Amino acid sequence: MNEDDAAQVRSCLDGNTEAMRAFVARFQSSIFGLCYRMLGHRQDAEDVVQEVFVRAFRSLHQWDPNRTLKPWLLTIAANRCRTFLSKRSRRPVPSEFAADLAVSQSVEELQDLGEELQNAISMLRDDHRTCFILFHQENLSCQEIGDILERPEGTIKTWLHRSRQELAANLRQRGIVPEVRHESR
Amino acid sequence: MNLVDFQSRLETMIETRNFDQRSRLEQLATSSPEHQRLWEDFLILETAVPAWQQTLPEIDLVDEVLAQLAASHFSEREEMHAPRTPVAHTGSRVRQWAASLLVVAVLLIAITVKFSGNQVEKTVPGTMPAFTGVATDSPVPAVAQSPPQRSFNQLLKNAGAASWGLAQSTAGTMTEAVSLVPVAAPQPETTEPLTRESNWVDDINMEMQPIKDQISHAWNFIIHSVPEESTNI
């Protein structure tokens, strides 16, 4: 059991506002990072992050002390992102998101490698995308990601390498490769 | 090292984040174009991922989350303590009463009309019709009826009159009952028991009691006074 996590949860359950503030401050970057990468839209990500924390506080009494808090919160966040994406797929893509996609089509207009990768990530399958983000942004192990996504570790490894292959192929298509190729030789 | 082994070692290095074998794999990457391509893919992402990690915007959602928590907590408490609005409840009760009474009234009117129709159209076996509308040469008036038939017709008249009176009485009672329903809804802020609701509901119940008795008596009268074999019911 993680004593720090347990103590913080107890304080939150007691209604200690400062403990709740500390709780949000502690995890908001991770949760926002996953949501922002998954949704590709800042405002949507902020909305989902707030929803994640509200849900987490409501079900904090159900938290298993044998489980660390961060993966538990990331599980909630991954589920909320999945739900949000399934809802969004049934309605028009927000104009801001569409504009981002349109701009990113042109390599000349957008040279930033990070944004290129983010655009490529947004084209991945949802489960591949979640896996890639949790591995490369949250630096979680394949075992931890498997626990969060409720999949075997082997499946997570497969998803990770497929997503990496797809992203590399996408960046090659966009002409990101030459500099790297030059370095590798 | 063959391509499968090379790919396996490369993937293990990525999964475990243990880059001890990096220089060894880099040397092996020149073994074939396929090895080279796998290594380039690794390098592409090794370059792009740190740049991507830098693009995450800074946020501070602490205040927003706590405000939303407070709002949801407040709305939950409000829902928990909110008085049950009697409008829908009592409205549905009145609607139930009205529907029941309307059905009873329609049923009774239908019975009345039916019995009246029987009286004209039906003939009791072995008796003459009361009026056929066809001129006969007989000097004897066609309206002559046997005593049992007259008493039966009298029963039907009585039942019809009772039904009609009951329907009228129902309509009158409904009018009075509707006038007892308060027009203005109670204040939603109040947490006190809804005394006004119980008063006017009791009033309606008291008002309805005579009509309940009348319905009961009328049905008993109809059921026990009309021979089953002589009606279509």
Which candidate in B10, B45, B74 is best for mutational testing of the A interface (most A CBs within 10 A)? Answer: B45
pLDDT of residue A44: 93
Which range is least confidently modeled, A2-16, A114-128, B149-163?
A: B149-163
Nearest-CA distance B173 → chain A (Å)? 52
Residue of A105, A103, A106, A87 lying closest to A95 (CA atoms): A103
How distant is the alpha carbon of residue B18 from its chain centre? Answer: 63
pLDDT at B136 over 50: no
- Which residues are CB-neighbours of B153 under 8 A, at least 6 positions away? B119, B145
Assigned token pair, B190:
């109040």
Interface of A with B in 45-104 (CB under 8 A): 46, 49-50, 53-54, 57
- Judged by CB atoms closer than 8 Å, whether chains meet at A50 and B65 is answered as yes
pLDDT at B135 over 50: no
Instruction: Quote the domain boundaries for residue A75.
Output: 1-90
pLDDT of residue A110: 45
Q: What is the pLDDT of residues A141-180, one digit of tens each?
A: 999 999 999 999 999 999 999 999 999 999 988 887 645 4
Nearest-CA distance A86 → chain B (Å)? 23
Does B24 share its domain with B105? no
pLDDT at B183 over 70: no
Average pLDDT over residues A62-66: 87
Check residues B121 and A14 and name the one with the higher pLDDT: A14
Q: How confident is the model at residue B77 (pLDDT cuts 50, 70, 90)?
A: low
Does B124 share its domain with B197? yes
Last residue of a domain, which of A38, A66, A90?
A90
Count of structural domains within chain A = 2
> Is residue A122 domain-resident?
yes
> Is residue A16 domain-resident?
yes
Does A157 share its domain with A171? yes
A3 close contact with B: CB closer than 8 A: no
> Is residue B138 domain-resident?
no
Does B37 share its domain with B96? no
Characterize A16-35 residue by residue with b for buried, 16 or more Cβ atoms within 10 angstroms of its Cβ, and e for exposed: eeebbeebbeebbbbbbbbb
Give the CATH number for residue A161.
1.10.10.10
- In the predicted model, what is the mean pLDDT of chain B? 69
Neighboring chain A residues of B52 at a CB cutoff of 8 Å? 113-115, 117-118, 121, 136
Does B100 share its domain with B204? yes
Count of structural domains within chain B = 2
A173 close contact with B: CB closer than 8 A: no
Does B121 share its domain with B214? yes
> Is residue A185 domain-resident?
no
Does B178 share its domain with B226? yes
Q: What is the pLDDT of residues A18-43, one digit of tens each?
A: 999 999 999 999 999 999 999 988 99
> Is residue B86 domain-resident?
no
Does A80 share its domain with A137? no
Does A74 share its domain with A103? no
Q: How confident is the model at residue A4 (pLDDT cuts 50, 70, 90)?
A: confident
Last residue of a domain, which of A90, A108, A132?
A90
Neighboring chain A residues of B68 at a CB cutoff of 8 Å? 50, 53-54
* Secondary structure (DSSP) of A22-80: HHHHHHHHHHHHHHHHHH--HHHHHHHHHHHHHHHHHTGGG--TTS-HHHHHHHHHHHH
Q: Rg of the Cα trace of chain A? A: 18
Last residue of a domain, which of A69, A90, A111?
A90
Q: What is the pLDDT of residues B2-57, one digit of tens each?
A: 999 999 999 999 999 999 999 999 999 999 999 999 999 999 999 899 989 888 88
> Is residue A67 domain-resident?
yes
Give the CATH number for residue A23.
1.10.1740.10
Instruction: Quote the domain boundaries for residue B38.
Output: 3-53
The sign of the CA dihedral B157, B158, B161, B167 is: negative
A25 close contact with B: CB closer than 8 A: yes
Average pLDDT over residues B86-105: 61
Nearest-CA distance B198 → chain A (Å)? 38
Which range is least confidently modeled, A93-107, B92-106, B111-125?
A: A93-107
Q: What is the pLDDT of residues B144-179, one digit of tens each?
A: 455 566 666 777 777 777 677 766 766 666 666 666
pLDDT of residue A131: 97
ipTM strictly over 0.90? no
